Amino acid sequence: MKVLICGAGQVGFGIAERLARERNDVTVVDTSRRLIDTISDTLDVRGVIGHGSHPDVLQRAGAEDADMIIAVTLYDEVNMMACQVAHSLFDIPTKIARVRAQAYRDPMWQNMFTRNHMPIDFIISPEVEVGESVLRRLAFPGAFETVEFADRRVTVIGMTCNEDCPVVDTPLSQLSELFPDLGAIVVGIVREGRVFVPHGSDQMLAGDNVYVVTEKGQEERTLGLFGHQAQQAHRIAIAGAGNIGLYVARHLEEVNPRARIKLIETNRERAVMAADILKRSVVLHGNALDHDIQREAGIETADAFVALTNDDKVNLLSSVLAKQTGATQVFSLVTNSTYEPVQQGLGIDAFINPRTTTISTILRHFRRGRIRGVHSFEDGAAEVIEAEALETSPLVGIPLREANLPDGMRIGAIVRGQEVLHPDGDQVIAAHDRIVIFALAERVRDVEQLFRVSLEYVRRTGSRNFWLDARRIVGRRSGDGTGREPLWGE
């Protein structure tokens, strides 16, 4: 696929890195020669210097035969105009724009982004996406990651196995027998920086990060089984009354009537505005690094402290201070990837990365096949994909034990109508089921293939036996031949 990316900042760089890694033809446009030189020297992409909304620049970038344009510059208006020019002059099929100003997203103006007006196919709002990520973490503070799929019927939970975790050193196949009604499936384990999909004989060890797929409503029980706090946070302190902080505070007021929220903001005008907007929250004007302000915010008794300012250093340092002061859980927004090497030793419970969240949103529109949802984990080392099974998919109509999925992918849940089914060897996938599947990066193309096998695929590839071609992918796995798919892993 040929993709144009307007904007070579952190988000643009991250998207280009991911798409180039998957051998797409990527061209990046930016006004900064320094950023273009950096991205061209670092990645296998083409760089063009210029304004992404200028027709001549887009033409030099190859817009005439591009399949997609992704506009993620710092300016909403440039992003929107780039998509307009891409549509009107170059007829680029898919147009994605990052729009940060919430005024553009007001339901009152919902007809603005239509084909007859501003023809943008998908709008990305990082503040909303990151805000939702923060809210999920606050709902289940024992997890470092929570992502919902299938219209919020399925949750993927990321947890750390501590020394006192009651399920470590136990083969996953035994856990299926001990907790047959839990319906939680361990789909991925991160050990010493390496991500792998476990089998039944594998064990979780102290220090592992694990990803578990569970049905909505079973999150607290699953977290408790891993020895983690599952109770929703009620005493919450937030540093930063910017777009994300304000979004989180407003939604907490709506969804958590027991929440006692204190918001810290250094800018007086912004603090006054936040106090006017919020109904039950206490807004404090001051610096989140100030011990007196932290005491006034009640950090020592807080269930959670969330640092959401636009300064990574303030976020990291205030989170460390909050943890030392007594906050039960601390979460920090970090946008600069250069801080990643030092993050793990700071005692912060979870880091929120807007770049990862934005890239996951874009990948949902980039993946081929009937893909409904995508989330990237471990800096792109793995993905959870929600896909719809078509009649022509090789997974449909056979027991899962006969599918023999290859190493590196695992089905976590099957959603049929309103019902969530937990995959085992006897389960048969039906057409139009929605499948939530964990896959390592090198297996993502195989997952796409499984869910794009159709007459359209036959015409495009010229395959004379598309069932055979697809089943070669399904049958590559080297297992024990039993075909068993126990809940906790095979």
Percentage, residues of the chain above pLDDT 90:
45
Between 126 and 304, the more confident residue is 304
Residue 484 within any structural domain of the chain: no
Residue 282 within any structural domain of the chain: yes
Average pLDDT (266-282) is 94
Residue 410 within any structural domain of the chain: yes
Number of structural domains found in the chain: 3
Between 291 and 118, the more confident residue is 291
Model pLDDT, residue 354: 82
**27 & 114 share domain:** yes
Percentage, residues of the chain above pLDDT 70:
89
Average pLDDT (104-118) is 73
pLDDT at 156 over 70: yes
Residue 162 within any structural domain of the chain: no
Of the listed ranges 2-11, 227-236, 326-335, 403-412, the least confidently predicted one is 227-236
pLDDT tens for 190-219 read 998 899 999 888 999 998 999 999 998 888
pLDDT confidence bin for 348, thresholds 50/70/90: confident
Model pLDDT, residue 336: 77
Domain containing 38 equals: 2-124
Q: Among 89, 107, 124, identify where a domain stops.
A: 124
Model pLDDT, residue 21: 84
Model pLDDT, residue 315: 93
**323 & 369 share domain:** no
pLDDT tens for 360-381 read 777 777 666 577 888 888 878 8
Residue 367 within any structural domain of the chain: yes
**120 & 6 share domain:** yes
**291 & 369 share domain:** no
CATH code for position 240: 3.40.50.720
Q: Among 279, 309, 327, identify where a domain stops.
A: 327
Average pLDDT (13-28) is 89
**321 & 432 share domain:** no
CATH code for position 390: 3.30.70.1450
Model pLDDT, residue 229: 67
CA quadruple 128, 130, 131, 137: dihedral, nearest 10: 150
pLDDT at 481 over 50: no
pLDDT tens for 27-71 read 999 999 999 999 999 999 999 999 999 999 999 999 999 999 999
**6 & 120 share domain:** yes
Residue 141 within any structural domain of the chain: no
Model pLDDT, residue 369: 56
**362 & 323 share domain:** no
